[in-house]
A and B are shown apart, each in its own frame.
Chain A
């Protein structure tokens, strides 16, 4: 708590200092490692319209391990304002993995998708699946993990209590309920870890989708910036993708797409 408060103070001081000393801000970044400062500088660069700098600073923070949904969201904004639709959509998708219920992220992702040229529906789970497995789609991995740990603790606590209160009906029902929750959340976590559908977002304005990994292979069709497709396979600098509905697919250059793993 104290640490956070200190950061806020540092951030506020810097926020005031940045416009007054632009030279200092530019030179001091590599030296000063306080993430709050870098973040504030990145926000200031974004507000000033210097999206390239904002992107570099946000990316730097992500590389240092400060991976949060909000950071991905801000990076997505910077990419979108900077004209990089594909990377913006990829960032919003990553943000959504952390913040699945955040309205802002959903709104900006929807906004970005409007600019995509190809009339291809992004690979998203259906409404029925979303309703049936609401916890799977509505909770982030971290939240699922926390819930799993807490429910696990409660379940074993109830088991311990049952050692001393053998006949308690309340404990029996509580135990069953906790067990159901634990299985549901555990299954969700298992799906997240073992079966991770990856999505590739097209970054350049236009790319060729070929029948194979080689340059001389036939161009099957073309995709445009911001289009989200399913990633089926990866091989030697190439990605095999599939369109969500039509079932068509092909190989694209790995550098031409941002891969997002939910």
Chain B
């Protein structure tokens, strides 16, 4: 009743507004949960009006483009725009798709609601289908922390395209990938399938019921259609059929572990611990490399260093641990190696005690302890200084870290007041500097001159006498007390000049010497007469006191005359 009324209304409105309105169609009203439905919303009479879709929560909605058509009826051109959507059913049941609405020129138009029925997927056995997906876990009741392998597979006998698996969210689990997607062929139910397999290692983190969500794979199945045309056959062109493949949710019941013993490592799985030493015979101070390897399957990413027994007889230097995780196998496996340099501190038989590792073995549901064998070392006394060896053994093993520069900036101001101190020689340092440079050589030259002169005089005593003759004579002249003294002054002067003993000269000899030194005949005669007169006075009678001064003045003039003539 109601739909009919609606159609009547719709027709009425369309007639009134000149072909305006909204129409919703679906390609089928009954489908399985594996199918994809196509929803078309057509708006007539407007280019810009955007339709408002009804509630489509039971479906996943994906836009698939739009198209437009012009139609002519009764002399009028009508524009219709069709919006296409792909609907992926999320669950089974009967759903009512409500009215879609659109507003054109201030009026609201609505579409007709309709019902869609979604059925369970085909009940036929999977092996008889051409494409299906599966998901399973290796253990549905694991312990907390136990490794659970989740395997998802796509089986197919047909070509597919655009396969998209929605991301799977594992809540409550630690997830480790186990390699890339693997592709292989398998036979199931006597038919051959191509399989794509995805594996993940899951580690439940909490106890209780956990749910692994359903998975959804969307893909296009290519269906070959034969005989339509030669052209289609040649290019192998077929139709694509959209498919949605799902796996159901998986319930996992996570069990708590029994109470842990002391020293439990936190590992769950199957583990072993192995100890190796690089050498068993060494000297005190020498280092041996001790490798402790924990390996196994399970939560290998949580392997920590097992508690070490006391190693009092050694100095222990840690190196960086090395890890390896193998994801290629059926489950997550791996190992972690702890390397230490052991340096014995004393000579003798030393033992590296056993190292114990307690883990939870999920298979047996109990805690187990793995241990290394004790290692005995024969340590001989050291040849060298222990400290020297120690530094050698430590240097390469310690993990040095490069300094990371966080920022760069200029260095601060120089604030000492000597920055504005006046230069030591004022602003014109040139003159004192030049003086300082020139003074030493000048001083040196002066000293050289003086020294030369001194040495020259030293070798030539006669010259000294000759040069100093007048000075000595004039000096002695001031102290004469009689004719004898006056005579001696004159004779010694001649002696100095001639390099002879002056006091022994007779007047004749003195005259001869003076003549030899180029003194004029007149002066020689005066000297000779004076000497002879003084000799006569010496032996003949005293000289008056007043006469002494006159004599000295007379002699002084005579000596100067002599000096002048000798030099000339």
Q: Is the CB of B419 within 8 A of A156?
A: no
Give the shortest distance, in Å, between A10 (CB) and chain B (any CB).
9
B403 located at the interface, meaning its Cβ lies under 8 Å from any Cβ of chain A in the complex: no
Contacts of B413 in A (CB 8 A): 43, 46-47, 73-74, 77
- Given A66-B420, A159-B444, residue A74 in contact with residue B451 (CB < 8 A): no
B396 located at the interface, meaning its Cβ lies under 8 Å from any Cβ of chain A in the complex: no
Q: Could you say which of B419, B433, B441, B448 contacts A74, with CB atoms under 8 Å apart? A: B419
B406 located at the interface, meaning its Cβ lies under 8 Å from any Cβ of chain A in the complex: no
A153 to B440, CA, bound (A): 6
- Given A160-B443, A160-B444, residue A111 in contact with residue B416 (CB < 8 A): no
Contacts of B415 in A (CB 8 A): 43
Q: Could you say which of A81, A142, A145, A160 contacts B447, with CB atoms under 8 Å apart? A: A160
Give the shortest distance, in Å, between B270 (CB) and chain A (any CB).
58
Q: Is the CB of A39 within 8 A of B417?
A: yes
A55 located at the interface, meaning its Cβ lies under 8 Å from any Cβ of chain B in the complex: no
Give the shortest distance, in Å, between A26 (CB) and chain B (any CB).
19
A35 to B416, CA, bound (A): 12
Q: Is the CB of B447 within 8 A of A163?
A: yes
Closest to A154 in B: B440
A94 to B372, CA, bound (A): 70
Contacts of B427 in A (CB 8 A): 65
Interface string of A71-104 (1 = CB under 8 A from B): 1011001001100000000000000000000001
A149 located at the interface, meaning its Cβ lies under 8 Å from any Cβ of chain B in the complex: yes
Q: Is the CB of A70 within 8 A of B419?
A: yes
A68 to B437, CA, bound (A): 24
Q: Could you say which of B416, B429, B441 contacts A156, with CB atoms under 8 Å apart? A: B441
Interface string of B409-447 (1 = CB under 8 A from A): 111111111111110000101000100110011011001
Q: Is the CB of B420 within 8 A of A68?
A: yes
* Residues of B16-72 whose CB lies within 8 A of A: none
A-B contact count (CB 8 A): 80
Q: Could you say which of A38, A73, A111, A157 contacts B440, with CB atoms under 8 Å apart? A: A157
Interface size class of A (residues with CB under 8 A): 35 or more
A112 to B410, CA, bound (A): 8
Contacts of A211 in B (CB 8 A): none
Q: Is the CB of B418 within 8 A of A70?
A: yes
Interface string of A43-78 (1 = CB under 8 A from B): 100110000000000000100011010110110010
A213 located at the interface, meaning its Cβ lies under 8 Å from any Cβ of chain B in the complex: no
Contacts of A8 in B (CB 8 A): 417
Q: Could you say which of B411, B420, B437 contacts A39, with CB atoms under 8 Å apart? A: B420
Residue tally, chain B, CB below 8 Å to A: 27
Give the shortest distance, in Å, between A143 (CB) and chain B (any CB).
13
- Given A153-B436, A160-B443, residue A4 in contact with residue B410 (CB < 8 A): no
A7 located at the interface, meaning its Cβ lies under 8 Å from any Cβ of chain B in the complex: yes
Give the shortest distance, in Å, between A151 (CB) and chain B (any CB).
10
Q: Is the CB of A163 within 8 A of B451?
A: yes
Q: Is the CB of A80 within 8 A of B410?
A: yes
A138 located at the interface, meaning its Cβ lies under 8 Å from any Cβ of chain B in the complex: no
Give the shortest distance, in Å, between A135 (CB) and chain B (any CB).
18
B408 located at the interface, meaning its Cβ lies under 8 Å from any Cβ of chain A in the complex: yes
Q: Is the CB of B437 within 8 A of A61?
A: no
Q: Is the CB of A152 within 8 A of B437?
A: yes
Q: Is the CB of A107 within 8 A of B411?
A: yes
Contacts of A7 in B (CB 8 A): 417
Q: Is the CB of B448 within 8 A of A149?
A: no
Q: Could you say which of A70, A112, A114, A152 contacts B416, with CB atoms under 8 Å apart? A: A70
Q: Is the CB of B447 within 8 A of A111?
A: no
Contacts of B448 in A (CB 8 A): 163
- Given A65-B427, A70-B414, residue A36 in contact with residue B420 (CB < 8 A): yes
Give the shortest distance, in Å, between B446 (CB) and chain A (any CB).
10
A250 located at the interface, meaning its Cβ lies under 8 Å from any Cβ of chain B in the complex: no
Contacts of A36 in B (CB 8 A): 417, 420
Contacts of A145 in B (CB 8 A): 429, 433
Q: Is the CB of B417 within 8 A of A11?
A: yes
Give the shortest distance, in Å, between A182 (CB) and chain B (any CB).
10
Contacts of A47 in B (CB 8 A): 413
A47 to B413, CA, bound (A): 9
A70 to B433, CA, bound (A): 23
A148 to B421, CA, bound (A): 23
Contacts of A4 in B (CB 8 A): 417-418, 421
Residues of B within 8 A of A (CB): 408-422, 427, 429, 433, 436-437, 440-441, 443-444, 447-448, 451
13 contacts between A and B (CB under 8 A): A8-B417, A43-B413, A61-B420, A66-B420, A71-B419, A71-B420, A104-B414, A107-B411, A111-B410, A145-B429, A152-B437, A159-B444, A160-B444
Apart from A68-B421, A145-B429, A149-B436, list 11 A-B contacts with CB within 8 A: A39-B419, A46-B413, A47-B413, A77-B410, A108-B410, A111-B410, A156-B441, A156-B444, A160-B447, A163-B447, A163-B448
Sorted nearest first, the 10 A-B pairs with minimum C-beta distance are: A156-B440, A70-B419, A70-B414, A35-B420, A66-B420, A108-B410, A104-B411, A65-B427, A39-B420, A149-B436
